[in-house]
Amino acid sequence: MTSQIDTMTPRWNAQGLIPAVAQDAESGEVLMLAWMNEEALRLTLVEKRAVYWSRSRAALWRKGETSGHIQRLVDIKLDCDGDTLLLKVEQTGAACHTGRYSCFFYGHTGDTWVAEGDTP
């Protein structure tokens, strides 16, 4: 017999971050992986758009703030361990900084990773 836990809180890593997977709410396609701190998560919930923590810039990053490629929050889930977020979003434009819709476009062929699909 297993017990069900009705509530969960995010489990932040040693740097105070949690991975956040962005998924197209309509197609289910995985778009990108980013990181959130508590403030990014709070702002995402309040603003109903994806706000991440940029590890390279050590600053909050509102997805699409400069490019216009925003992610409108449709739903958000916390996984069973509390250590990963899933954001279901409506993506405007490209999710990837390369200009592709998804950041996951390298397929494994033989012993090589090869870009698949249309190039931006």
Cβ atoms of 63 and 103 within 8 Å: the answer is: no
Q: Cα separation of 41 and 50, whole Å?
A: 8
What digits encode the pLDDT tens for the residues 67-90? Answer: 999 999 999 999 999 999 999 999
How many helices (H) and strands (E) are present in the chain, helices listed first? 1, 8
Compute the CA torsion angle 67, 107, 30, 66 (nearest 10 deg).
-10
What digits encode the pLDDT tens for the residues 11-41? Answer: 999 999 999 999 999 999 999 999 999 999 9
